[in-house]
Chain A
């Protein structure tokens, strides 16, 4: 049994592997050198693990490519995995998110993309179909690009039911209860500091959303200012930012096994976007956001980097591991729920995304 940590960067993909339960890591790469890898997934539902990468081939455009041999070779279809239908007049700009669905829906992979769009694959990520229910939403003309572009960057399939949650910048949180056919904005309580008050029904810049391990109706959101929780699948959000040194940040991840447990990485903002006091730390809650604990033995002091929205992930080992990538090309791994970190890699290009998986 081995643990794999896929590290997508602005100039390629690296794979870290641990054969001693995440105590030490061996780095392999670069793969896809010179390609921006903004989204990566490790799909372990099939007979062999499949790596999926949302790449931007430099000057030559974006697509999804896959590897069934842990990066030794990569494939893409002639047509391109994600192609906007002709009637949309749109063209894919960037793949922001690749999310394999549950084991009960083998072959289903979701992609969140720029321009704001959601895509569904039924063949393990080789080809995707545009989810028209979201694309045709009457709000779509109002979804504006943030600084990084306008995209669906978070896709959360329900563990058992037909619900889908997406988050976008900007646009906010939208929920479908029918597998993607129809969508409702669910941003009540989430602020939008860049818009006049009161906060609108939609248009927020929600940076990331995570689902609680114990209750699929309980979600955590790291907003563009503000950390929130909902207990009714987005019906109402309440602030859980008290106790954090800053309420800005990009990632939020939740434990896959322990209810009420989640992590954020606060940044001082708006203009600075650096760790408070130059100390990179994660903050963990064990009570669904009522209180937060600063963690991070092994994370650096005197650092002025940032952690992007998909550059933190948790694994499914026991105890849960937390993995953090930084814009200055470092990756830190914790095998004890964020208590202590070890350096997995440094001097990489900007880390855009990390995803962990336990290989069979």
Chain B
């Protein structure tokens, strides 16, 4: 199965200049999706998830519009055809 990953412009360079990627998750979860991303674009994956496997504090991930932090976190299911969007949070200064 394949899902679409939508990246903010600031991360596109780490995905070969693409903001929309078709990715085959290693397992049907956000974690499985990031595992697959780590194989293809390891630096990109490190920007989203730290080495302990946690979503970075100021990075938000949405599966079909729903924030995974309010679902099952990285265990949130990613169905075939889902759109998974990565966005920086409102934090900054």
Establish whether residues A59 and B52, one from each chain, have CB atoms under 8 Å apart when the complex forms.
Answer: no
Q: How far is the CA of A83 from the CA of B46 in the complex (A)?
A: 10
Which residues of B are found within 8 Å of A89, using beta-carbon distances?
Answer: 52
Binding-face segment, B17-25, B27-35, B65-73, B84-92: B84-92
Which residues of B are found within 8 Å of A92, using beta-carbon distances?
Answer: 50-51
Kindly state the interface size class of chain B when it binds its partner. Answer: 10 to 19
A-B contact count (CB 8 A): 43
CB of A197 closer than 8 Å to a CB of B:
no
Q: How many residues of A contact B (CB 8 A)?
A: 17
CB within 8 Å for A60 and B51 given contacts A78-B42, A78-B43, A79-B42: no
CB of A80 closer than 8 Å to a CB of B:
yes
Establish whether residues B52 and A91, one from each chain, have CB atoms under 8 Å apart when the complex forms.
Answer: yes
Q: Which of B11, B43, B48, B50 contacts A76 (CB 8 A)?
A: B43
Establish whether residues A59 and B88, one from each chain, have CB atoms under 8 Å apart when the complex forms.
Answer: yes
Report A52-72 residues with CB < 8 Å from chain B CB.
57-61, 63
Which residues of A are found within 8 Å of B48, using beta-carbon distances?
Answer: 60
Which residues of A are found within 8 Å of B51, using beta-carbon distances?
Answer: 80, 83-84, 86, 91-92
Which residues of A are found within 8 Å of B92, using beta-carbon distances?
Answer: 58-59
B27-69 interface bits toward A, Cβ cutoff 8 Å, 1 = contact, 0 = none: 0000000000000001100111011101010110000000000
CB of A90 closer than 8 Å to a CB of B:
yes
Q: How far is the CA of A83 from the CA of B53 in the complex (A)?
A: 11
Report B14 CB to chain A, min CB distance, Å. 9
CB within 8 Å for A57 and B47 given contacts A90-B52, A91-B54: yes
Establish whether residues B59 and A59, one from each chain, have CB atoms under 8 Å apart when the complex forms.
Answer: yes
Q: Which residue of B lies closest to A85 (CB)?
A: B51
Establish whether residues A59 and B56, one from each chain, have CB atoms under 8 Å apart when the complex forms.
Answer: yes
CB within 8 Å for A59 and B46 given contacts A84-B52, A91-B51, A91-B54: no
Establish whether residues A61 and B43, one from each chain, have CB atoms under 8 Å apart when the complex forms.
Answer: no
Interface on chain A toward B: helix, strand, loop, or mixed SS?
loop
Q: Which residue of B lies closest to A76 (CB)?
A: B43
Which residues of A are found within 8 Å of B54, using beta-carbon distances?
Answer: 91
Report B69 CB to chain A, min CB distance, Å. 14
Establish whether residues B46 and A61, one from each chain, have CB atoms under 8 Å apart when the complex forms.
Answer: yes
B6-17 interface bits toward A, Cβ cutoff 8 Å, 1 = contact, 0 = none: 000011000000
Q: Which of A59, A61, A91 contacts B91 (CB 8 A)?
A: A59
Report A193-234 residues with CB < 8 Å from chain B CB.
none
Which residues of B are found within 8 Å of A91, using beta-carbon distances?
Answer: 50-52, 54
Which residues of A are found within 8 Å of B89, using beta-carbon distances?
Answer: 59
Establish whether residues B50 and A61, one from each chain, have CB atoms under 8 Å apart when the complex forms.
Answer: yes
Q: How far is the CA of A359 from the CA of B54 in the complex (A)?
A: 41
Q: How far is the CA of A60 from the CA of B48 in the complex (A)?
A: 6
Report A142 CB to chain B, min CB distance, Å. 22
Between B46, B54, B56, the greatest number of chain A beta carbons within 10 A of the residue's beta carbon is seen for B46
Q: How far is the CA of A330 from the CA of B91 in the complex (A)?
A: 26
Which residues of B are found within 8 Å of A83, using beta-carbon distances?
Answer: 51
Q: How far is the CA of A91 from the CA of B46 in the complex (A)?
A: 11
Which residues of A are found within 8 Å of B46, using beta-carbon distances?
Answer: 61, 63, 80
Which residues of B are found within 8 Å of A84, using beta-carbon distances?
Answer: 51-52
Which residues of B are found within 8 Å of A60, using beta-carbon distances?
Answer: 10-11, 47-48, 56, 59, 88
Q: How far is the CA of A100 from the CA of B48 in the complex (A)?
A: 30
Q: Which residue of A lies closest to B54 (CB)?
A: A91
Q: Which of A59, A78, A80, A86 contacts B58 (CB 8 A)?
A: A59
Q: Which residue of B lies closest to A78 (CB)?
A: B42
Query: Top 5 closest A-B pairs, CB basis?
Result: A91-B50, A60-B47, A59-B58, A78-B42, A91-B52
Q: Give the B-binding residues of A (Cβ under 8 A).
A: 57-61, 63, 76, 78-80, 83-84, 86, 89-92
- Apart from A80-B46, A84-B51: 18 A-B pairs, beta carbons within 8 A: A57-B47, A59-B56, A59-B59, A59-B88, A59-B92, A60-B47, A60-B56, A60-B59, A61-B46, A61-B50, A61-B56, A63-B46, A78-B42, A78-B43, A84-B52, A89-B52, A91-B50, A91-B54
15 pairs from A and B in contact (CB 8 Å cutoff): A57-B47, A58-B58, A59-B56, A59-B59, A59-B88, A60-B11, A60-B48, A60-B88, A61-B50, A80-B43, A80-B51, A83-B51, A90-B52, A91-B52, A91-B54
